[in-house]
Structure formats: C-alpha cells, structure tokens
Amino acid sequence: MTQTHAQASSAPVSASVPMLQLKVKVLRFDPEKDKKAHWSTYDVEAQPGDRVLDVINHIKWYLEPSLTFRRSCMHGICGSDAMLINGRNRLACKTLVRDVAKNGGTITVEPIRGLKVEKDLLVDMDPFFDSYKAIMPYFINESPAPAAERIQSEEHAERMAHSSNCILCACCTTSCPIFWVNGSYLGPAAIVQAHRFIFDSRDEATHQRLAIMNQNTGVWRCRTAYNCTEACPRDIPITQLIEEVKRAVMYAQS
Amino acid sequence: MHHRYDVLVVGAGGAGLMAALYAAKGNVSVACISKLYPTRSHTGAAQGGIGAALGNVQEDHWEWHMFDTVKGGDYLTDQDAAEVFAKDIIDAVYELEHMGLPFSRTPEGKIAQRKFGGHTRDFGKAAVERSCYAKDRTGHMILQTLYQQNVKAGTTFFNEFHVTDLLIEDGRCRGLVAYHLATGELHTFHAKAVILAAGGYGRIFKITSNALTLTGDLMSIYYRKGLPLEDMEFYQFHPTGLAKLGILVTEGIRGEGGILRNDSGERFMERYAPTIKDLAPRDIVSRSIITEIREGRGVGRDKDAVNIDLTHLPREVIEGKLAEITDLARTYLGMDPVKDLVPIQPTAHYAMGGIPTNLDGLCLSDGSGGTVEGLYAAGEQACVSLHGANRLGTNSLGDLVVFGRRAGIAAAKYARQAEYPEMTEGAERESQDLFERLRSGSGKENAALIRKELQESMMNNVGIFRNGKDMAAQVEVLKELKARYQNVTVSDPSRRYNSELIEAMELGFMLDCAEAMTASALNRTESRGAHDREDYTERDDTNWLKHTMAYKNLNNDNDVIIGYKPVALKGFTRAFEPKPRVY
C-alpha cells in the first residue's frame, strides 16, 4: 500500500533545509483481522533532523490512523517507543532521520523481538516487567533510619551512575539472543536493575539478590553477545555491568 | 468489568505514586490507574533538582525557601501552603533518600545541593545552593524510586487504562470509569476516595517540554462537571527549551554557571535582573529572552532563539552533573555543550493552575469553602496554590512529594471511616456516548489537524506576552475548533489498542483546558508572574490579589463563568507582605 506524501516535521519548516523523500516500511499486524504480519509502505517527506517518531506520528495522524505504537515523552526518557528501526533496536524519538536514511531511501520499522505483538509496533510488556519485579527492584535497609540522610561517599554514589540511568525501555533485553530463545531468562534489563541495588553501599539485601542472580534464570545465561550494550539508547555499558554481577556472585560463593 | 477499592489513585507519576504509597500505609485497599506504564510518567523528564533547605552546602532556612516561593509566585501564592511546603519538603527529601534515591553527594557524603532560579538567602540578598539533585536526572530517579517502593508495597496497578469519567453525584465522589486500551472495554471503579494526580496539559501549545500524553484529561473531566479550575491563566514557559524542539534543558545548567547570550555574545540578563542575572525566576528570564528576540538580537537561522553558554565550565561538570542535557544537545542538535553555544528558546512547561484543593488535597467545588467529598488532587494537575503566578524551579518535584503524601494520608484517613457511597447508576453511559459520537461523526474533520491549529493558535494568542485583542480572537478560534471537533470521526473500528480513539478523546480534553485558560487570562486585566499583558503592564494588587475560578457554563457550551477566591496572605507563623518584585 502506498499513500500520498506529505510533510512529517513537527519543527517549524525553514525554507533552506532540504527535505528528504523517504519510503517508510512498517510491519503491520492486527490480530482482529490479520493471520500474520505484513508490510505497509508509506511515502513521506521529512527534514534530516526530524526524529523517526515524528515520521511515524505523521503517518498515524495524516495517512493511516489505525497504525498503533507506544510513545510519550519524545526525547528518550520515558522508554515507550522502543522499536526495530532498520534492523536495530532503538528509541524512535532518539533516532534522527538523517542517521538512518538518505534522500530517496527507505526506513523499515518493526516491533521489538521476543515479546508478543499485540498490534502493529505495540508488544506485550508484562513479561518484561515481571522479570524486573523478580529481582527485588527496591531499596532494602531495615536498620532505623537516621534523622537526616544516610551518608554515602561520592565514590559509592557514582557506583550506581550507570545502572540507575536505565529507563526500562526493553531495547537491551529484546536484542538478546538468549532471551529470544529462552523466555525464562531474566534478561539484561533486570540484571542492570539488580546491579543498581547490589552495588548500593546503603542496601542490605545483597545476599538475597545475588542468590536470585545465581538461579538458572539469572546471570549465568548471559553469553556475552554484547547486543544489549549496542542496543542501549542511554549508553549504559550493560555487558560490563552483567560481568560485575557475575563476579559478585562468584565471590559470594567462594 | 467492575472493581472496588477503598482508595483509587489516577496517575502514576511522582504525585500519584507518593499518594498511593501513603494511602497503602493507611491500611486501606489501594489501586493506581495510569494511561501509561508507571515508569513512563512525565515526572521522569524533570532534570535539575528538588529544593529543600537542608543547608548541606550553605546556610539555609525554611523561612527563606517560603519567602522565595511567595515572592517567586508574585504574591499570589497561598502562604499557608508555602509554609507547610517549605517545612515538609526537608523531611520529604530525607525520606526519598531513605527509600534509596541515589542523590549526588557532597565530599562529606551528604546530599549535594546547587543553585537554581529564584532561590536566595536572607530574603533575596543573593543566590543560595538549595536544589538537591541526582545528576541532571532527578525526576527520573524520583519516579523510579517511588515506583520501586510501590512494587515493594504490592500496590495494584491498572496500566494503560484511560479515565473517561469521574462519578460525582450530590457533592460526593463515588468512583470513575476507565477505558482499557488492551481490550477496548470500559471498566467501572467504585471507591470511597479518589486521588487525581494525572499531570499537566502542555500539549495545548506548539512548543512544549511536555509529553504527548499530557492532555489535561482529568482537569477537563472535573471542569465538565461544572466544577472550577483555579488560576488557569498562569502557565509557565520554561526559558530554556532546545530550539525548535522545546525539549527541556534544565535550569541546573544556569545553576552550575551557564550564561545566556544574545547574537552579539552579550550576557543580556545583567540588564533585566542585575542582582541574580541568569538565576532570575522563569517568568522573568522567559520574557527577557523573547524581548531580545523581538528586538532583533536572536540567534539561529530564524533569529528566534538565544544561546546558552557552558564553554567556560570544566568538561567534568558538563559531562558529569549535566550529562542528560549534554546528550540531548548532541543527539538532537548535533552540538557539544563542551565547546558549542547551544540555541534555546522558551517552551511551554508547567501549569500553575488546575483543580483547586485545600492543604490536604481535598478538591474545592467553589471559591468559598465548598468541597467535593471523597475527591482529592495533587501534583501539577492540582492547584493548592503553592506556585501562585509563577513556580520556582525545583518546586514541582517538591510539590508532588509533599502534597502527594498529604493527599494519600488524608484520603486513607477518610476512607477508613467512610462507607462506600452508593454507586452511580448507569455509570458507563456518558463514556459510551462519548465514544459513540467519536465513532459516528460526519468524518469531515481530522483530529490531528484540529489539534495542530489549537497548538499554533494558543502559542500565538495566549503565550508569553498577551493582550486583550489576541485573546479575544482566541476565544473565537476555540469556538470554531470545538464546533469542528463535533465532526471528527474515528475511522479505526477495532477494539484492541485503538489509539486513534484515545487521541480523539484527548483532543476534546485539550480544547476544554484551552478554553478555561483563555477565558481566565482575558479576564485578568493586570500583569503578574507568568501572566504578562501588553495592555495592562502593571501588577494591580488592589483589584487582582485574588485567585480566578473558571467554571464551564453547563447551559451554554461556549460560555465560561468566572469567580474568585481570596489569596491566603499569611502562613501559620510567617507572613510576607506583597512588595514590588525585583531581583
């Protein structure tokens, strides 16, 4: 299906910016009427600095209103719009058109893999959040709290800089070949969350978390494929964090 | 489907999650309903910090914070709210730390603090370091931490449920109706108490820092019941949104020493706020930037921005304490704040007005003490009138933890002693009618085009600088857009995940919010805080030291009835006399 083109920009148009003519191929699936997924192609015009999300929004608003996907913040902090763009997991709001297509080129958009597709680009996130909940993703310190803050050194605070940066977008977990093959694997995002608390000098439940990581759904399933690290839209060195958790589990056992 | 909980919370941002936690501590059954997954609420986009007079870096006192809040609000702030806030927030920040929030630290290991706009010591003498922060992702960390604590507490969440109606009869809230995106079913929720915490409505403007989901749903539903929205004319433009995109660039960037410069490189804030310069409150900085642009000193291709300059700061500060905005500038503008000047322009950011409440979050039904039994509100959606005519930076995160907590405690206390009210008969009828109309319209109109016209016209006519002529024109524009909205049709007939239907419904809510804002702004013939009129340039305390209460005329869809409410000019122990506002 090819639709007439129109312009996708959310930003005001400046006459001097060259517009790109693009084809956008979207993998569509509506379980109410489709037996299997199929491609729809839309012709659009976009500025090089537009986000891929601007282009997809444009298709929804003016060309194909039934197209379904999640989105919210538009700048890479809410984690709603993880999708496969030109074969790679990315946030559509953090991916600029100029970085994935040239004039006359094609952008392909598909749902992230390993989670059930509910409609078009929208997948069932519940298994992902179930894995998150399985690692006790909350601070535990049952000692009486002081009147003011618990003192923590700058160095110890910095230990959480990478892991606390996670926005739970699922780009990492749904890029992991182990997760595709074995859905019971907790996956990189949940391990990053475990890291967040294991290495918090104020938390008192390290032992329990390491035990969860040591289970057969835990950290040992990781085969160090690095897909997670490449997929992370916030540049978290996920593979490194997973290795740190592996080492912590090993030391706890010895 | 039918559900029953003692306390229902609508919204899973900071205010909703804090309210849900505290309601759960009150030994009542609690559920939280969100149109998103909880970790995707817009609290996560707040960057710079949460202000509290901890005094970890410099001497500070709650009285100074209260004064700054009242003065920042151009004396429209209710001083009882400001006093409660300035005291409670200190304890609330420690509580967040005890919940595990990973704050940035001082060399002694205490919570680190930095400067922010309008935060001063000694009642305005000089800037003070009051903003507690976790790098420049403080809101992200508050949202994650509060969600984590709700997972620990076992709070029940209804994710991707869009509230379509509040059930209020005879002055008593009985529950609500919500649309489940996954199935297309309407669910009724019966409750003793409901807490509204669904955020703002910045999407009525073209350039905004707000998420696509911030469409004022619950404010509009409240207003459609003939209940008032307070101080809607006071809408904050954040001075520093990324040029063209409106993406938020934290005020922390100026707190760390960033400088605003015009096309000739001049530090122009020295002319507008000689004492605290770039750290003046947001309304003043936004107007100063627009003035520079209007007078031809803007930068960029269209000369419609100014620059923020960080190049004199050490790389470690920029990439460490300001990592988030560094990434945003690199991603979206291809610019590196370490060596480039970054173009910014004001962006629609925060509603100071909203659903009126008392200090415990109980919703007000008029300007003279009437309340809605069993209904509470907190966060950006509510107007306890902490922010008055202009909110200080960091006071939004403070507002949502302090007043989210108070609303949660009050709602649970109420629910413990209350019986379930009788459930509204045919509770789903109005929601069914709304969807029926959206599915069976004439099809002549496209919701996205109407939304675009709404956003452009509000930006032009009810933006940073306002006048009677433009706002009167906007009243007519809104009448026309509302009429056209009646002819919108949802073309997708599917039941599952029908996001076209949701977006069409949201547009109706946005039109209501815009209507209440425009009528309130046209009515207020003075300039105060963020409400700046070119035809009434002075603040007029004699006539306008009062809150606006805007009601929809239920007998005439295009008519707004304006009422008023007095400002609380005293706190419990302190009071600050209105004075000219200079920095």
Per-residue confidence (pLDDT) for residue B558, from 0 to 100 = 87
Residues B367-396 pLDDT 10s: 999 999 999 999 999 999 999 999 999 999
User: What's the pLDDT at A27?
Assistant: 98
Handedness of CA A241, A242, A247, A252 (dihedral sign): positive
Maximum CA pair distance of chain A? 67
Chain B: residue whose CA lies nearest to A144: B98
Tell me which chain A residues have a C-beta less than 8 angstroms from the C-beta of B213: 72
- Nearest partner of B521 among B306, B228, B231, judged by Cα: B231
Closest CA to B168 of B216, B224, B217: B224
Strand ranges in B243-299 using DSSP code E only, listed in sequence order: 259-261
Which chain A residues have a beta carbon less than 8 Å from that of B39?
78-79, 167-168
pLDDT at residue A57, as a whole number: 98
Flag if B140 and A77 touch (Cβ within 8 Å). yes
Reply yes or no on whether the pLDDT at B327 is more than 60.
yes
Question: What is the per-residue DSSP string for B98-120?
Answer: HTT----B-TTSSBPEEEEEEEE
Instruction: Report the pLDDT value the prediction gives residue B441, as an integer from 0 to 100.
Output: 80
**d(C-alpha B176, C-alpha B164), whole Å:** 8
Could you tell me which residues are beta bridge partners of residue B194?
A: B8, B375
**Beta-strand runs (E) in B263-370:** 306-309, 342-351, 355-356, 362-364
For residue A252, give Cα distances in angstroms to A136, A139, B72.
Answer: 18, 20, 53
* pLDDT value of position A253: 80
DSSP B203: G
Structure tokens at B382: 């509510």
Search chain A and give the residue with CA nearest B149.
A138
- B window 171-210, beta carbon within 8 A of A: 182
With residues binned 3-state (H G I as helix, E B as strand, rest as coil), the percentages for chain A, rounded to 5, are 35, 15, 50
Q: Please determine, for residue A5, whether its predicted confidence score (pLDDT) is greater than 50.
A: no
B238 touches chain A (CB under 8 A): no
CA B284, CA B298: separation in Å to the nearest integer?
17
Contact criterion met (CB below 8 Å) for B98 and B401: no
Nearest in space to B123 (alpha carbons), one of B78, B180, B176, B66: B66
Task: Give the tens place of pLDDT for each residue, A95-105.
Answer: 999 999 999 99
* Closest CA of chain B from A6, distance in Å: 13
Q: How far apart are CA B581 and CA B68, in angstroms?
A: 11
Alpha-carbon torsion A146, A149, A152, A158, what sign?
Answer: positive
Give B22's contacts (C-beta < 8 A, 6+ positions apart): B404, B405, B407, B408, B409, B412
Task: Check whether A3 has a pLDDT greater than 60.
Answer: no
Q: Once rounded to an integer, what is the mean pLDDT over residues A120-130? A: 97
Q: CB–CB of A154 and B182 under 8 A?
A: no
Integer Rg of chain B from CA: 22
Angle between helices A188-198 and A126-134 (to 10 degrees): 30
Q: Please measure the distance between the N-terminal and C-terminal CA atoms of chain A and give it in whole angstroms.
A: 61
Strand partners, B488: B445
Distance CA A2, CA A24 (A): 10
Tokens 């002694």, residue located: B108
Q: Which residue is it, tokens 């909203």?
A: B354
For A3, the 3-state DSSP assignment is coil
The ipTM estimated for the assembled molecules is 0.95
If you search the block for the tokens 């998150």, which residue do you land on? A132
Among all residues of chain A, which has the CA nearest to that of B490?
A65
Cα(B28)–Cα(B238) distance, rounded to whole angstroms? 39
Query: A88 CB near a chain B CB, below 8 Å?
Result: no
Closest CA relative to residue B415, chosen from B4, B1, B2: B4
For the stretch B9-43, pLDDT in tens is: 999 999 999 999 999 999 999 999 999 999 999 99
**Cα-based angle A190, A191, A195 (whole degrees, multiple of 5):** 120
Q: Decide if A79 touches B, using CB distance below 8 A.
A: yes
Query: Which residue would you say has higher pLDDT here, B441 or B51?
Result: B51
Residue recorded with tokens 């996708």 = A8
* pLDDT digit string, tens, across residues B510-551: 999 999 999 999 999 999 999 999 999 999 999 999 999 999
Residue B4's pLDDT band, with cuts at 50, 70 and 90, is very high
Identify which of B213, B495, B500 has the shortest CB distance to residue A66.
B500
B40 vs A51, A78, A203: nearest CB? A78
Q: Which ranges of A18-68 would DSSP assign to H, the alpha helix? A: 52-58
Question: Which uninterrupted H or E stretch holds A239?
Answer: helix A238-253
* Residue B40 forms contact with A (CB below 8 Å): yes
Nearest alpha-carbon partner for A202 in A120, A114, A139, A138: A139
For residues A71 and A81, is the Cβ–Cβ distance under 8 A? yes
In this structure, how many other beta carbons lie within 10 angstroms of the beta carbon of residue B21? 24
Residues 143-162 of B with CB under 8 A from A: 144-145, 148-149, 151-152
Q: What's the confidence (pLDDT) of residue B521?
A: 98
- β-pairing verdict for B465-466 and B532-533: parallel
Q: What are the CA-CA distances from residue A196 to residues A163, A209, B320, B495 (Å)?
A: 5, 11, 18, 39
pLDDT tens-digit series, residues B213-247: 999 999 999 999 999 999 999 999 999 999 999 99
Check pLDDT > 70 for residue B445. Answer: yes
The answer to whether B130 and B90 are in contact (CB under 8 A) is no
CA dihedral over A108, A111, A112, A114, signed as positive or negative: negative
- pLDDT, average across residues A125-151: 97
- B236-287 tens-digit pLDDT: 999 999 999 999 999 999 999 999 999 999 999 999 999 999 999 999 999 9
Q: What percent of chain B has pLDDT over 90?
A: 98
What is the arithmetic mean of pLDDT over B479-487? 96
CA distance B228 to chain A (A): 28
Distance CA B337, CA B199 (A): 31
* Burial of B440 from C-beta contacts in 10 A (0-12 / 13-18 / 19+): exposed
Tell me which residues of chain B, numbers 465 to 494, contact chain A at a CB-CB cutoff of 8 Å.
490-492, 494
The pLDDT of residue A16 is 64
What is the rounded distance in angstroms from the CA atom of residue B180 to the CA atom of residue B199? 19
B194 vs chain A: nearest CA distance in angstroms?
Answer: 25
In the block, tokens 């056209």 appear at B484
Residue A8: pLDDT band with limits 50, 70, 90: low
Using the structure block, give the residue that is written with the tokens 């199935």: B183
Q: How far apart are CA B408 and CA B521, in angstroms?
A: 32
In DSSP terms, which residues pair with B382 in a beta bridge? B355
The pLDDT of B185-201, averaged and rounded, is 98
Q: Is B500 within 8 Å of A200 when comparing Cβ atoms?
A: no
Residue of chain A with shortest Cα separation from B330:
A94
Please report the pLDDT score of residue A60 as a whole number: 98
Q: What are phi and psi of B426, to 5 degrees?
A: 55, 45
CB atoms within 10 A of CB B59: 10
Burial of B304 (0-12, 13-18, 19+ CB in 10 A): middle
Question: Minimal Cα–Cα distance from A60 to chain B, Å?
Answer: 8
Inform me whether the pLDDT recorded for A4 exceeds 80: no
CA atoms of A238 and B369, how far apart (whole Å): 55
Statement: residue B440 has pLDDT above 60: yes
In the predicted structure, residue A14 carries a pLDDT above the cut 70: no
Is the Cα torsion angle B399, B89, B136, B68 positive or negative in sign? positive
Instruction: Count contacts between A and B (CB, < 8 Å).
Output: 154
Q: Give pLDDT tens digits for B542-582.
A: 999 999 999 999 999 889 999 999 999 999 999 999 999 99
Contact B144 A138 (CB under 8 A): no
Asked whether residue A6 carries a pLDDT value surpassing 50, the answer given is no
Query: What is the per-residue pLDDT for B557?
Result: 87
Phi, psi of B157 (to 5 degrees): -115, 140
Alpha carbon distance B378, B197 (integer Å): 5
Average pLDDT, chain B: 97
